[in-house]
Chains A and B, each alone.
Chain A
Amino acid sequence: VIGRHRHCIALEDYSREEILEVLDLALSMKEVLRRPLKKVPTLRGKSVVNLFFESSTRTRSSFEIAAKVLSADALNWTSTGSSVSKGETLLDTAKNLEAMRPDVIVVRHAASGSPAFLARHVRCSVVSAGDGAHEHPSQGLLDCFTIRERLGSLGGRTVTIVGDISHSRVARSDLHAMGKLGASMRVCGPPTMIPQGIERLGATVFHDLERAVAGADAVVMLRIQHERIGDPLIPGTREYSRFWGLNVTKASEWLKPECLILHPGPINRGVELSSDVADGPHSVILDQVENGVAVRMAILYLLAGAGATAEVSSPEKATA
């Protein structure tokens, strides 16, 4: 369990303490990851099913590695070639998987609310690996982890999320988690990409990038999905990149020198980030990838490991 939760579906439902519990444990997990022999027996005999209805190489791989380092068995079930294409419902798929008695189902689905729907109908723990435009909790947690690792704390920091906020589950998870950890949150993008009422998630809205990043301690640049161009939310990537993308000139003129640049990946180089910024000194994008594994190890451990049976979950025990 993570605090009161058997599942990891929405950071909106998590308290500050519950978020910190995962982040603190992830520190020890990261230490495990950096050992020459990256294997601990913590989740031996446990099984984790990665149920992916949307293609996602990196998140699926990250969960898979996290499970394997902890010695859990990981099974990948993707919608391509599975019974989903034969018209099986989400619930039937989940029920079939459940009959194979996994301890955790990690699910990614294009429909918002699907993980909550599954959680109501299966007995095992459900971890969302992203649902529609709702939340991507492990990404939100790894973003927090990465900023804390570099800056010590999110308290009193300013974080700006730039891009298609409307369609971004990362933005929502970041807003909930970072807000609870004390950061002051901004969102920036063209008005067509800012959803109604985003202020109620604690964000201040900007349309001008220079003002949005002024004084920011971290900037999260979201990926621009090519299918949004015809939607039509923006006229094209050229104009988007000019007004809402970061290149090295803007970065050096507008960002504080110590400002971090995050990106949930995969990057559209030359659209939201120019290559020299993506690979430059502000960027912590590859740290995010590594931290993602550590955070997911912490989530799986808490839900399927000793923590799941309400025993004391000390980091020492996790890494023993």
Chain B
Amino acid sequence: MSDTIFIEGGRVIDPASGLDGVRTVIVRDGRIAEVAERVERPREARALDARGKWVTPGFIDLHAHLREPGQEYKETVASGARAAVAGGFTAVCAMPNTVPPNDNTTVTELVLARAAAAGLARVYPVGCISRGQKGEDLAEYGELKAAGCVALSDDGKPVMSPALMRRALEYARAFGLPLAVHEEELHLAGAWSMNEGPVATRLGLKGTPAQAEEVMVLRDLALVELTGGRLHLQHVSTSGSVRALREARKRGLPVTAEATPHHLTLTDEEVARSGYDTDFKMNPPLRGEADVRALREGLADGTIDCIATDHAPHAVEEKKLEFDAALNGILGLETAFAACLALVREGALSEQRLVEALTAAPARIFGLPGGSLARGAPADVAVLDPALEWTCDTAALHSRSRNTPWKGRRLTGRCTHTLVGGRLVHEQGGGR
């Protein structure tokens, strides 16, 4: 009985089973043994006091950059997994834009081995769509899947050739792998630093139009229609993309989508307000208010299935630069819950839908275990204090990098305990 934990007194929110109420979650031998209303705890079982807190399935992030192999100065699989569990994430999908890219089983196996050695969050590698992410020919999807890849992506490097994209969607069907895509028409986008619009005009920064994303979304939706391939749109950022997606889903196309905490909560005005702070620079860029509204509506009504962080660590010397020169990307794993909880406070999202978008929905999209507290499921659990106030102190982050737009901000809501496979892998002290 020594490996039995009673998570007591918390509000259990498990959208996968439709449960929302005060329960005790009993974890035994690494699995969910029971979620019970009233239960006597044997003396030898460990208790975890969750009164006043939420108990949810561990969060699942479909989109994180763990940077290993090749860019360990930004992040490693271990440090990324540590940041993940600190944020309540028990599983993260590792994007393949490593050095070298994950277009072969050697890289896939290395990522899995590093994750196993770290023993924190589960790490699911994502393989490349094209060999070397070059957009020229197909990677070996069958091999990648056999080695452990759960999806395919050339993230950051859009597949510009419609012919290759067509074949990728077709070929991936043989292995049941979804294609997760970063939608950006590079010729239309040009060299840019932020969203095109009045703020970019005022700041004199080169903008990329929302349509650079939307024309690729429309192209790929057409290709899904042609091929029947499984498409997942990464970090959807514009109202036009949401509109196209909504229409495609109405027609029953097999397409899913994610939005990031930052695109759901921040606008391009932040670039001005912060005085060109490069921690507000990412790809896709922060958009306008109408886009944020559309994303929120899309997430609430299920047009956008899930929340993914696009956790993108960069070193100080890659960010502390003039705005044009700084690399795109920001951290996400440790601030996602607090950022998204603001959507609940602002009435844009229900608590249940928020939890679903972080748990059951991502599990379904990539066909991953977890995302549920059903009896017999792996005991991947997050205990969250929705009222805990804390300051985002970059020195205290578990990531190796510091590039977060939330730095120094007062945030509300934090993960206090994380269990992976029944093991307590993260415990957070009181608020600061």
Q: Which residues of A contact B (CB under 8 A)?
A: 12, 89-91, 109-114, 116-117, 120, 131-135, 166, 169, 172, 195-198, 200-201
Q: Are A112 and B321 in contact (CB under 8 A)?
A: no
- Chain B interface size band reads 20 to 34
Chain B: minimal CB distance from A202 (Å): 11
Does B205 contact A112, Cβ atoms closer than 8 Å? yes
Asked if A117 contacts B204 (CB within 8 A), the reply is: no
Residues of chain A within 8 A (CB-CB) of B391 are none
CB neighbours (8 Å) of A116 from chain B are 275-276
Partner of B202, one of A109, A111, A132, A172: A172
Q: Beyond A172-B204, A200-B198, list 8 extra A-B contacts (CB 8 Å).
A: A91-B320, A110-B324, A113-B275, A113-B322, A116-B276, A117-B323, A132-B324, A200-B201
Cβ–Cβ contact A198 & B205, under 8 A: no
Main secondary structure of the interface of A (DSSP, over half): mixed
Q: Return chain A residues, CB-CB under 8 Å to B205.
A: 112-113, 132-134
Residue pair B321, A132 in contact (C-beta under 8 Å): no
Task: Report yes or no: B275 in contact with A109, Cβ–Cβ below 8 A.
Answer: no
* Cross-chain pairs A/B with CB under 8 angstroms, 27 sampled: A12-B202, A89-B317, A89-B320, A89-B321, A90-B321, A91-B321, A112-B205, A112-B324, A113-B205, A116-B275, A117-B276, A132-B324, A133-B204, A133-B206, A134-B203, A134-B204, A134-B205, A169-B204, A172-B204, A196-B201, A197-B201, A197-B202, A198-B201, A200-B201, A200-B202, A201-B201, A201-B202
How many angstroms between the C-alpha atoms of A110 and B203 in the bound complex? 13
Interchain nearest-CB distance for A191 vs B (Å) = 14
> Is the CB–CB distance between A196 and B202 below 8 Å?
no
B196 CB contacts on chain A under 8 angstroms: 196
Residue of A89, A90, A195 ringed by the most chain B CB atoms within 10 A:
A195
Question: Given A133-B204, A134-B203, A169-B204 in contact, is the A112-B323 Cβ separation under 8 Å?
Answer: yes
Most buried by A among B193, B196, B197, B275: B275
Contacts of B276 in A (CB 8 A): 112-113, 116-117
Closest residue to B206 on the A side, CB-wise?
A133
Measured CB to CB, the nearest residue on chain A to B317 is: A89
B207 in the interface (beta carbon within 8 A): yes
User: How far, in whole Å, are A169 and B324 apart by their CA atoms in the complex?
Assistant: 16
* Shortest beta-carbon contacts, A-B, top 9: A197-B198, A134-B204, A113-B276, A133-B204, A111-B322, A112-B204, A111-B324, A195-B201, A114-B322
Query: Smallest CB–CB gap between A111 and chain B, Å?
Result: 4
Which among A90, A114, A169, A196 is the interface contact of B198 at CB below 8 angstroms?
A196
Q: Is residue B19 within 8 Å, beta carbon to beta carbon, of the partner chain?
A: no
